[in-house]
Structure 1
Amino acid sequence: MMLGKVIRKYRKERNFTQEEMAERLGVTASAVNKWEREVTCPDIALLAPIARLLKISTDTLLSYRENLTPKEIKELMEKTQKMLKETSYGEAFGWAKKQMEQYPNCEDLVLNMAACFEAYAITHEVPEAEKREREICALYQRLLESSEESVRMRAASGLVGYYRRKGEYEEAETYLQYFSIQNPERKRMQAQIYGETGRIKEAYKAYEELLFADYQRMSAILHGMYQLARKENDRERAGRLAEKQGELARCFEMGEFYEVVPQLDFAVLEQNRELALDTMKKVLDSVAGIGGFRQAWLYEHMTFQEMQPELLGNMKKQLLQSFDDEEIYGFLKEEPRWQALCGKQAENCGTSGKAEEK
């Protein structure tokens, strides 16, 4: 098969138009058309870039390689930043564009180049600024087609930021669709847009929802680390992690119940009678305010489902019943305070351990 037919075959398989292929190689669409019609041949220097773009893995004679290594990308980025300091923006961008044309399928290179020149253009006066902005946006747009979710999201984030800076908020919002609903970055960027367009309550609500979700996530992480420390019998680490859980609840205005309850398991682990009894009392006393975060100023724009009094009553009964479990709390059985708590259980549950023995 002639070279022109090979180019045409694989270009169509990659779903490129002649114009798209030309743009990525830095040539004209007319040149690509002539190659495919066998009127002319590509310059020898373009053979490797063409192979990379079309992903022709059989082209071993040209030492086909689709991507650069992380080290090679780092070296290219360091040279780019050096050129931005020592030469003009246009010269540096032209050089960078040639590197991207040499490796048109190296998405990490394109992404890093786009971010680098975008950051420079934000903080410096750049000649032909609008033209350069369009070129950077074109790079991000191209990366939206990536098969890698992380690449698509970084490109979309760049475009959201670009259109926010231009005040084109509706356009900025269209790129949020590249983030899943569950991705907190989507909500954070939406909150920024709300704030910049005068939708202050919506912005606060979105930020507060992020804070509340982050507390739950970080609390679960600390609890998981605490369980690991317990498993390894690392008491010192376990104690510090239990304290951190309480500090986290305090920082996020979750209420006293969430501040003190992590200490209870650690007190049992340590068989620390004073700490256990003090914490048990604090836990019981704070049950009524377990939903205190609903009134916290930090979440005043959020709407929470009201907690039913019956639910709080049942929760307190369950806690009292658990405190009467001698397998866990038996080391407290000689303590009058523990016996008093068990007495409260009898009042709340209508039965006691002694009644059951009779």
Structure 2
Amino acid sequence: MTIGNVIKKYRENKGMTQEEMAARLGVTAPAVNKWERGKTLPDVALLAPIARLLGITTDELLSFKNELTDEEINQYLSKIQRDLEDKNFHNVFLSVKEKIEEYPNCEKLIWQAAVILDANRMAIKLPNKDNYDNVIFSWYERCLLSEDEWIRNQAADSLFHAFVWKNDYEKAAHYLDYFSLENPERKRKEALVNSKTGKRTEAYRAYEELVYSGYQHIQMALNDLCILYMEDDNHKMARKLVEVSSSAASAFEMGKYNEVCFGLDVAAWERDVTWTAQLMKDILDSVETIGDFTKSDLYQHMTLKAVDSNFLIGLKQELLKSFGDEAFKYMQGNENWEKLKSSVC
């Protein structure tokens, strides 16, 4: 944006005419008109007074503004979308390129504008779409230097998929380094590259590890969510989450034990004697299935250690002891619970 455009924009925002501005600065109205049309530039001595009058900094006046507001970015991105619907792609591209040159440090604008143009050129029948690679990819590369981790990840993701689309898996793999080792997206992308480069076993294993860890995260979230609902005395949702947890354990082939154990806390919270007694029986009867997931075909490429028999014996003993503690005192008088408690003693 030229100085003239900046002056015009902020003058109009202030609801000020060229004549009013000229009068306040001690210049003529034609002088202001020439500034705004880019015919002449204001005298250096007038820069600070002009900036103060317009309520902006001299950097903004001189177009050194590094950032656009989120609202301005969104408005411009909407304009790009509209322009792409009825204008020549190359002309829109040049317009965006000019805008990015005007705001070279506005990373949100650069990344999102690049994504829009990138997606559009792939969606339409553009005969020379590869000719735009260097510029669009350079915009992504610029965002890889961002201090904002989210922007870095999004730019790396865009570059990764761009080179996967080109079947350049070696280049695509280069961008995995921008994702932390703990980020599941990194493992998923590694699996994709492995599946395309002949490393099928590694790909299977990586996907299976994602499924397995995904299940663990799901169950932890369900458990925490259930605790929250119990704190708010929401019995309906607490029971629903028990059902969902059981279904998840079944779907992920984690074994009968994992399907039934989640409900015991809710049954005890509700002091439901019948349900508690049934769950205790189901849990004790299914202890041997706690490691059934190691036999599942879902995880056949993973190295999973079978559950030791001594561990199972110890677990069953610990469960029997815990079922007889004060937390289940409300079970007094229940025949099955009394038998269980006497077996421990």
Query: Who is 1:340 aligned against?
Result: 339
Shift, 1:59, TM fit = 2.7
Give yes or no for contact 2:59–2:65 (8 Å, CA) kept in 1.
Answer: no
Q: What SS does the corresponding residue of 1:95 show, helix, strand or coil?
A: helix
Query: Who is 1:30 aligned against?
Result: none
TM-score, normalization: structure 2? 0.80
Alignment map for 1:197-216 (pairs within 5 Å): 197-216=197-216
The C-alpha deviation readout for 1:199-219, integer Å capped at 9, x for no partner, is 222111111111111111121
Shift, 1:121, TM fit = 2.1
Q: What SS does the corresponding residue of 1:92 show, helix, strand or coil?
A: helix
Confirm or deny that 1:252 pairs with 2:237: no
- State how far apart, in whole Å, the 2-side matches of 1:113 and 1:256 are: 51
Question: RMSD value over aligned CA atoms?
Answer: 1.9
- State how far apart, in whole Å, the 2-side matches of 1:92 and 1:177 are: 33
Q: What amino acid is the match of 1:222?
A: L
Confirm or deny that 1:328 pairs with 2:336: no
Q: What amino acid is the match of 2:145?
A: E
Aligned residues: 292
- State how far apart, in whole Å, the 1-side matches of 2:274 and 2:234 are: 21
- State how far apart, in whole Å, the 2-side matches of 1:263 and 1:140 are: 48
The C-alpha deviation readout for 1:295-344, integer Å capped at 9, x for no partner, is 1121111111232111111111000000111x211121211111222244
The C-alpha deviation readout for 1:39-89, integer Å capped at 9, x for no partner, is xxxx97xxxxxxxxxxxx873643753211222111111111111110111
Alignment map for 1:1-358 (pairs within 5 Å): 59=59, 61-62=61-62, 64-325=64-325, 327-345=326-344, 352=345
- State how far apart, in whole Å, the 2-side matches of 1:229 and 1:208 are: 32
- State how far apart, in whole Å, the 2-side matches of 1:104 and 1:206 are: 39
TM-score, normalization: structure 1? 0.77
The sequence identity of aligned pairs, in percent, is 35
Give yes or no for contact 2:122–2:129 (8 Å, CA) kept in 1.
Answer: no
Shift, 1:161, TM fit = 0.8
Q: What amino acid is the match of 1:266?
A: V
- State how far apart, in whole Å, the 2-side matches of 1:245 and 1:176 are: 33
- State how far apart, in whole Å, the 2-side matches of 1:235 and 1:165 are: 49
- State how far apart, in whole Å, the 2-side matches of 1:172 and 1:90 are: 26
- State how far apart, in whole Å, the 2-side matches of 1:138 and 1:125 are: 23
- State how far apart, in whole Å, the 2-side matches of 1:124 and 1:201 are: 37
- State how far apart, in whole Å, the 2-side matches of 1:287 and 1:259 are: 11
Q: What SS does the corresponding residue of 1:59 show, helix, strand or coil?
A: helix
Shift, 1:101, TM fit = 1.4
User: What 5-or-longer segments of structure 1 have no aligned partner?
Assistant: 1-42, 45-56, 346-351, 353-358
Shift, 1:128, TM fit = 2.5
Q: What amino acid is the match of 1:329?
A: F
The C-alpha deviation readout for 1:132-179, integer Å capped at 9, x for no partner, is 122211111111111111111111111111111111111111110011
Query: Who is 1:12 aligned against?
Result: none
Q: What amino acid is the match of 2:220?
A: A
Cα pair distance change 1:163/1:61, threshold 3 Å = closer
Query: Who is 2:29 aligned against?
Result: none
Q: What SS does the corresponding residue of 1:233 show, helix, strand or coil?
A: coil
Cα pair distance change 1:252/1:58, threshold 3 Å = farther
Shift, 1:93, TM fit = 0.6
- Range moving further from structure 2, 168-177 or 229-238: 229-238
User: What 5-or-longer segments of structure 2 have no aligned partner?
Assistant: 1-39, 42-56
